[in-house]
Amino acid sequence: TGYIISVDRNYLVVADTSTKEEAISHQNDWSELIAQNKILRVPITNGENYMVGEKLNVYAVAWTASLPPIAVMPTIEKVME
**pLDDT tens digits, residue range 31-63?**
999 999 999 999 998 778 999 999 999 999 999
Taking 80 as the threshold, does the pLDDT of residue 20 lie above it?
yes
Taking 80 as the threshold, does the pLDDT of residue 69 lie above it?
yes
Percent of the chain with pLDDT over 90: 91
DSSP H helices in 1-81: 20-25, 31-35
Pick the CATH number of 2-78 from 3.40.50.11310, 3.40.50.10860, 3.40.50.2300, 2.40.50.140: 2.40.50.140
22: phi then psi, degrees, rounded to nearest 5: -65, -45
